[in-house]
Structure 1
Amino acid sequence: MPLLSSLECDYPLIDSDFCKFCASHAILSVEDFLLHDLYVLVISTEQHHNSERLKEGITQVLTIINKQHQPWVDGQELLDDALQNKRFLPTGCRSIDAFLHGGLKEGYLTELVGTSSSGKTQICLQTASAVAKNWGKIVFLDSGNSFSPKRVAQIVTQTSDLSACEVDKALQQVMNNIVCMSVFDIFTLFEVLHQLKNNLRSQIDQHIKMLIIDSISSLITPILGGGGAQGHALMVSVGFLLKRLAHEHDISILVTNHMVGGERGTSKPALGESWRSVPHVRLLLSKDHVRNISSMSVLRHPHMAAGDRVEFELQ
């Protein structure tokens, strides 16, 4: 994200005095601004003679971010991306992989939406197991203590047509290839994502094939309360950062989102309209508990029609 000083020419409120004030709080860029406690920042303006103008400058920066709808890549990058034969990573469920023409595509941010009992975490664990077994490393960011090593071991055992010795080796490989981290707030998420970005650029983690966040909504929802601009800006920034990671390093990113009440008693994905256009792929997961059958339908996909649907059984 740009330096605050680069905005001076276009936005009079973001002048040298405002930039000096921000610099005194170690805020040099728009990204630094987002990661700072804005309540503390606003309070600190009271110590200055131009307090009101500084507050207006803070509002101006938030407005700039809030209205940011720039494409995350330019046209040439999109063309280059389309011409590349990117791979699909398996979900561990043959029906889902066939439905999605191979699985979860590298370079894409895929969102799995569903109620708390629809099986989102189960698909995350199955996908992590399948990719870690044959493709490479997984980073699993757990925001609700959902990651279960025992369940992963059960999945590997159930899906392997191997001898006991070979199963043990496969399980060891899967466990070694999954890095699980607990992340309970948006600021920790930013720190982890930036560290991952730096590691990928320096090729420290060059074997990472997938990033899973279960769940993204539990990290973002708390900062959206009150309708303030900062929460919305942070949400948009997370989306851009995830898509950049996916695109620049050819990794597949899978995030989960819960459902909230909508109009006339219907349910809808959490995080609102602004988030809806962020993921490349949005998939709705539901489960018929009477028949014990799950279904997945397309909400958004570059190459599939909205409403396309498949039924399957989760193991």
Structure 2
Amino acid sequence: MANRFISEMGLPKSIANVFAARNVKTAKDALSLTEFELMELLDVGLAEVTSAVAYISEMVCPPFETALSLLEQRVQNEHLAGHLPTRLKGLDKALCGGIPFGVVTELVGPAGIGKTQFCLKLALLASLPTSYGGLDGQVIYIDVESKFSSRRMIEIGSKSFPEVFYREGMAKEMAGRILVLQPSSLPEFTDSLQQIKVLLLQNKLKLLIIDSMAALVSGEFEQTNNPRQHPLAWHISFIKSLAELSRIPIIVTNQVRSQTHGDSLFSFQHTIWVNERLDSGL
């Protein structure tokens, strides 16, 4: 909400135009300054600044909820809970059915262990018709390190789901449901997340895969161990909220940073540590 544009909030045009002219575009830009700093920057009076700040704060502040409404939401979410089976028997058993809906699952392991191959199979599974155990929906695959291989995806599909993949037009239809984004920078990654909201509102998106998230800021986090100062802190929070509100499974891959499993970059709800090759069963 802090990144919501002031121009979309319905402020009077006179003050909204002043914000725009001074390059104060988002709620975060405005609320990170004191009222006196805004007066000096915008060249307007205290009354106008106070009124604008109060309005912006009201627009971006989450509404109050009662304990009863939170309980009802939790019961409803549990009712909507489900899993996307991976079709790897041992893993599905350990995960109580597969990749859970409504949470972010972090897949962590060293380079070359098969994380990307596993994500390709999950993308295909989500695009499968429901009659074949799939989710019959669209998949967004955010390919940060340009590892996505359509050829490998077809190989996995023909080997894992031959009864579906060789049906006329089915391979093309499934591949058409997998949307690939390849952001090359953190701002592009931010834009990619904003694009996802449209598909979520249309109830077409069934799986989101981010492979791999930490690659966007490689080396920057080494200078600080404070998660709040991590350059991806906002993105992590945003992705968690996407999972909770949409009730879709979200997969984020990351490489091991040290020998200690506790040395994880992010605090996601669900983390799978991979020590053996995943693609042997694909």
TM over 0.5, yes or no? yes
What does residue 108 of structure 1 align with? Answer: 103
Of 137-146 and 243-252, deviating more is: 243-252
Letter in structure 1 aligned against 2:175: M
**What are the ranges of 5 or more consecutive residues in structure 1 without an aligned counterpart?**
5-19, 34-44, 50-69, 288-293, 296-311
In the TM superposition, residue 284 of structure 1 has moved relative to its aligned partner by 0.2
Letter in structure 2 aligned against 1:142: D
What does residue 7 of structure 1 align with? Answer: none
Asked whether the equivalents of residues 92 and 130 of structure 1 are also in contact (C-alpha less than 8 Å), the reply is no
What does residue 314 of structure 1 align with? Answer: 281
What does residue 79 of structure 1 align with? Answer: 74
Distance (whole Å) between structure 2 residues aligned to residue 151 and residue 118 of structure 1: 15
Q: Looking at both structures, which has the greater relative contact order when contacts are Cα pairs under 8 Å and sequence separation is at least 6?
A: 2
What is the CA deviation profile of residues 50-81 of structure 1, one whole-angstrom value per residue up to 9, with x for unaligned ones?
Answer: xxxxxxxxxxxxxxxxxxxx9xx984376235
Letter in structure 1 aligned against 2:171: L
Q: Secondary structure at the match of 2:163?
A: coil
Task: Count residues with an aligned counterpart.
Answer: 233
Q: Secondary structure at the match of 2:237?
A: helix
In the TM superposition, residue 145 of structure 1 has moved relative to its aligned partner by 1.1
Letter in structure 2 aligned against 1:25: N
Distance (whole Å) between structure 2 residues aligned to residue 270 and residue 150 of structure 1: 34
Asked whether the equivalents of residues 224 and 231 of structure 1 are also in contact (C-alpha less than 8 Å), the reply is no
Letter in structure 2 aligned against 1:144: E
Structure 1 stretches of 4+ with a deviation exceeding 6 A read 20-23, 228-231
TM-score, normalized by length of structure 2? Answer: 0.70
Where in structure 2 are the equivalents of 1:51-66 lying within 5 Å?
A: none
Distance (whole Å) between structure 2 residues aligned to residue 3 and residue 189 of structure 1: 14
Q: Secondary structure at the match of 1:260?
A: coil
Does 2:153 align with 1:152? Answer: yes
Does 2:166 align with 1:178? Answer: no
Distance (whole Å) between structure 2 residues aligned to residue 163 and residue 231 of structure 1: 46
**Percent identity over the alignment?**
23
TM-score, normalized by length of structure 1? Answer: 0.63
What does residue 309 of structure 1 align with? Answer: none
Distance (whole Å) between structure 2 residues aligned to residue 174 and residue 3 of structure 1: 34
Give the RMSD, CA atoms, in angstroms.
3.6
Asked whether the equivalents of residues 112 and 255 of structure 1 are also in contact (C-alpha less than 8 Å), the reply is yes
The 1:247–1:231 alpha-carbon spacing in structure 2 relative to 1, beyond 3 Å, is: closer
Distance (whole Å) between structure 2 residues aligned to residue 149 and residue 267 of structure 1: 34
Distance (whole Å) between structure 2 residues aligned to residue 24 and residue 86 of structure 1: 46
Asked whether the equivalents of residues 22 and 28 of structure 1 are also in contact (C-alpha less than 8 Å), the reply is no
What does residue 273 of structure 2 align with? Answer: 284
